[in-house]
Amino acid sequence: MIPHIRTTRQQQVIQEKMLQLPNELLLRIADFSQDEDLPSMRLSCKLLEQNTRKHFTAAFITEITFPASLFGIRRLKEILANPKFGPCVERCMALVDRGPLFNKDKCEALLTEIFFQLSRNGHGFEFGIVYRPHPDDLDFASCEQLLRGSRDFARLMVDAYPSKSPVQCFIVDHRNLSLKHRYTGVYLRDLASRLSPPSHGFAFMHRDVEVRMRDRDENFRGSSMFRLSFSQKGTCIKFDGVERTNCLHLDMMRTTHIKEVQIVNCNISTLALRNLFRSIGSPSWRLEIKNCQFTYRYGWTADNSRRFRNILCASASGLSSCLLSNLTNLTSGPIFTGDFDATGSPQIRNRINALQFLERDFDEPDPDDSD
């Protein structure tokens, strides 16, 4: 009896150690969860199985620096090998720290085994990379160096996916860093080229790529976040909650695959929209702008109306449908009454030309865009 009791107790201790994650990771998991209730998650960690099934199924903490990365990956591998908890795994997460990537081949081999096991469980799963803040990241050079190293780490993870891996969401969280948006644009372009279906030559299940970032500005509050969605039928890019208009950009991404652009709850300008629309090379795409605010301090003027109309008309030849809803200006309120919803290039162009703007000129020049 005694040996049997000891064996049972040892197994219980092993399971508890496997799933008892540090507070740093719990904070990140709460950040990824819907309720983001960290105290209740810490409390529920006392009941590991209940916590596993209710709040998150499994995650692993890893850093670019050796040997923490291998330790974290091996821990996740042990969890997946557990017949009780392994089939429930739905979310994986990597915590990336500063430093070079060592033992790339060994990491990739372990990740390949992990993704293969996740695929065998028969359900889609999410994978995320979170960047740990560091005092040295205030320096531009450190930001760029960190991004290069983390990009190599992300490439390794993407390359480790099996060909039919049911990855549903790939999240990159930059909110704890002060990265310049141009760095993130290059990073995002690289991920897009690796995650999009044409680069692999086969059809993926629905996949989202979500990037959360904040611009480097002491007066900037909140986080600019934009989300890309790749699917078998098409590609959608969604900008959500972007407060600085210079973050509305696609940089030099592979935009010929984009079929839909959504801009929601953002601060926008005609210049930002013009640059964004020019970078889309798809012959037929859908535009949706909702609950957005132009940032003109001196009201919505006739020049603003002319610029906005010209931008939409220039894009109309490639638009299959266009929805504009609840567009306002910072100081003058709504820029037109009702919603604009049209399909087909001719109808879109005709309705844009006939659109009546609510112009409120405050008799001051607005140093924004130029034709």
Whether the per-residue pLDDT at 272 is higher than 90: the answer is: no
Indicate the helix (H) or strand (E) that contains 329.
Answer: strand 328-329
Q: How would you classify the pairing of strands 235-240 and 224-230?
A: antiparallel
Q: What are 46-65's pLDDT values in tens digits?
A: 333 344 433 333 444 444 34
Is pLDDT at 25 greater than 90 in this prediction? Answer: no
265 in the same domain as 310: yes
- Tell me what the mean pLDDT of segment 148-155 comes to: 64
- The reported pLDDT for the residue numbered 120 is 72
Prior bond to 67 cis, omega within 30?
Answer: yes
Residue 38 placed within a domain: no
What is the C-alpha to C-alpha distance for residues 203 and 165, in angstroms, rounded to an integer? 10
155 within domain boundaries: yes
Query: ∠190-29-123 over CA atoms, to 5°?
Result: 70
**281 and 356 inside one domain:** yes
| Mutual angle of helices 104-120 and 140-159, in 10-degree steps | 50
> Is there a domain that residue 265 lies in?
yes
Looking at the predicted structure, is the pLDDT value of residue 66 above 50? Answer: no
Q: For residue 129, what is the enclosing H or E element?
A: strand 125-131
Q: Measured between alpha carbons, how far is 156 from 103 in angstroms, rounded to an integer?
A: 11
Q: How would residue 215 be classed by pLDDT, with cut points 50, 70 and 90?
A: very low
* pTM, entire model: 0.59
**Stretch 314-322: mean pLDDT, rounded?**
90
Please provide the average confidence, as pLDDT, over all residues in the chain.
Answer: 64
- The share of the chain scoring above pLDDT 70, in percent, equals 35
What is the pLDDT confidence band of residue 42, given thresholds at 50, 70 and 90? Answer: very low
Domain extent at residue 331: 259-371
Listing DSSP states for 45-59 in one string gives TTSHHHHHHHT-S--
Query: Residue 362 pLDDT more than 80?
Result: no
Q: What pLDDT score does 266 carry?
A: 83
Same domain, yes or no: 64 and 190 = yes
The domain boundary, picked from 214, 231, 248, lies at 231
Q: Please determine, for residue 320, whether its predicted confidence score (pLDDT) is greater than 70.
A: yes
Summarize the confidence of residues 290-301 as an average pLDDT: 89
Q: Are 191 and 263 in a shared domain?
A: no
* Mean pLDDT, residues 181-185: 49
Q: Is residue 187 part of a domain?
A: yes
User: Are 121 and 218 in the same domain?
Assistant: yes
Whether 364 and 216 share a structural domain: no
For residue 136, what are the CA distances in angstroms to 96, 170, 346? 15, 27, 54
Identify the three-state secondary structure at position 311.
helix
Whether 172 and 319 map to the same domain: the answer is no
Same domain, 82 and 224: yes
Give the list of residues 6+ apart from residue 270 with CB closer than 8 angstroms, or none: 294, 304, 307, 308, 311, 368, 369
**pLDDT(288) > 80:** yes
214 plus 91 within the same structural domain: yes
Most confident range (mean pLDDT) of 45-49, 122-126, 362-366 is: 122-126
Report how many domains make up the chain: 2
Residues 264 and 211 in one domain: no
∠ at Cα 87 (86, 93), nearest 5°? 60
Whether 181 and 295 share a structural domain:
no
Most confident of 38-47, 185-194, 234-243: 234-243
Whole-number pLDDT of residue 311: 93
Q: Please state the rounded mean pLDDT for residues 163-178.
A: 56
Residue 180 lies in a domain: yes
Contact in structure between 123 and 87 (CB atoms under 8 Å): no
The tokens for 222 are 């909140």
pLDDT tens-digit series, residues 232-269 = 444 677 777 777 666 666 554 545 667 888 888 888 88
Examine the pLDDT at 32 and tell me if it is beyond 90.
no
Query: Is the domain of 265 the same as that of 225?
Result: no
| Amino acid symbol at 75 | R
The pLDDT of residue 276 is above 90: no
Any domain includes 105:
yes
Task: Flag whether 245 is in a domain.
Answer: no
Say if residue 38's pLDDT is above 60. Answer: no
Query: Hey, what long-range contacts does 200-203 have (CB within 8 A, 24 or more apart)?
Result: 200/163, 202/163, 202/164, 203/232
Per-residue pLDDT band at 307 (split at 50, 70, 90):
very high
Instruction: Return the top range by mean pLDDT from 7-21, 81-95, 215-229, 313-327.
Output: 313-327
**Residue 236 counted as domain residue:** no
